[in-house]
């Protein structure tokens, strides 16, 4: 690791430790079904401590971005992984297309919605916007055995609005309409609901055409604001 990585991770560990709240940590871990230990930092507190830790540090290189993310993923407490997602989002214009391999590793490790969703809707989204050839990787992820890669592919265009590749969005949703996992069915509904803000008629048509295959959850979520 470079100096920036060591300095940042040391600062972050100290800053988080200063404000840890063991009582709150119990409730936060329970909310995440006991999958991860927590320090007990609300998002606002975590981000405030992160800003203090980042003060005076230069922008990272692509290698440093990866090293920071992997260092945070190696820590037990969930706040470190959540910080890494914020850090990657803030610097998403730095890495090249090969960085998607790092994102895939993060998406499929210590996976849960709180990290997968920002990795999908901000980090993956930014990489694919800047490097359109990565859409081929999204096609692969949309068919993956790992449900979190599927969720990432479905959600990566969430904020694209008029720039949405509708053929891909609707294609991914149609192919995974009968997926057995809640998080994929929910992602389908969320992605369609968001795109309905841009083209409600297209979403209505899609829901009508696939009413027999889409789950009630996906339909309910997609149609919430129609």
pLDDT at residue 1 in the model: 44
Percent of the chain residues past pLDDT 70, beyond the cut: 99
Average pLDDT over residues 80-94: 98
Domains and CATH numbers, the chain: 1-91 (1.25.10.90), 109-226 (1.25.10.90)
pLDDT at residue 156 in the model: 98
Question: Among positive and negative, which fits the CA dihedral 125, 148, 212, 196?
Answer: negative
Confirm if 107 and 139 have CB atoms less than 8 A apart. no
Average pLDDT over residues 47-70: 97
Average pLDDT over residues 150-162: 98
Phi, psi of 179 (to 5 degrees): -55, 140
CA end-to-end span of the chain, whole Å?
50
Confidence of residue 35 (pLDDT cuts 50, 70, 90): very high
Confirm if 110 and 73 have CB atoms less than 8 A apart. yes
Structure token digits, residue 48: 């405030």
Confidence of residue 70 (pLDDT cuts 50, 70, 90): very high
d(Cα 93, Cα 107) in Å, to the nearest integer? 19
Confidence of residue 111 (pLDDT cuts 50, 70, 90): very high
pLDDT at residue 2 in the model: 53
Average pLDDT over residues 201-217: 98
Average pLDDT over residues 131-139: 98
Angular region, 133: left φ>0, alpha ψ -120 to 50, beta rest: alpha
The 3 state secondary structure assigned to 72-116 is: HHHCCCHHHHHHHHHHHHHCCCCCCHHHHHHHHHHHCCCCCHHHH
Average pLDDT of the chain is 97
């Amino acid at each position: 690791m470079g100096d920036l990585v060591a300095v940042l991770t040391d600062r972050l560990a100290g800053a988080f430790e200063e404000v840890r709240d063991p009582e709150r940590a119990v409730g936060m871990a329970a909310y995440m079904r006991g999958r991860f230990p927590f320090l007990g930092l609300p998002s606002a507190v975590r981000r405030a401590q992160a800003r203090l830790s980042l003060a005076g540090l230069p922008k990272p290189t692509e290698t440093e971005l990866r090293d920071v993310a992997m260092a945070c993923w190696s820590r037990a407490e969930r706040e470190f992984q959540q910080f890494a997602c914020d850090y990657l989002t803030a610097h998403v214009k730095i890495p090249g297309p090969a960085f998607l391999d790092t994102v895939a590793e993060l998406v499929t490790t210590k996976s849960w919605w709180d990290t997968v969703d920002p990795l999908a809707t901000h980090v993956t989204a930014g990489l694919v916007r800047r490097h359109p050839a990565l859409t081929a990787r999204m096609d692969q992820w949309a068919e993956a055995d790992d449900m979190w890669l599927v969720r990432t592919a479905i959600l990566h265009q969430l904020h694209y609005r008029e720039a949405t590749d509708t053929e891909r969005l609707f294609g991914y949703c149609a192919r995974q309409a009968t997926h057995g996992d809640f998080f994929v069915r929910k992602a389908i509904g969320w992605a369609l609901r968001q795109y309905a803000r841009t083209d409600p008629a297209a979403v209505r048509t899609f829901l009508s055409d696939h009413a027999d295959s889409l789950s009630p959850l996906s339909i309910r979520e997609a149609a919430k604001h129609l």
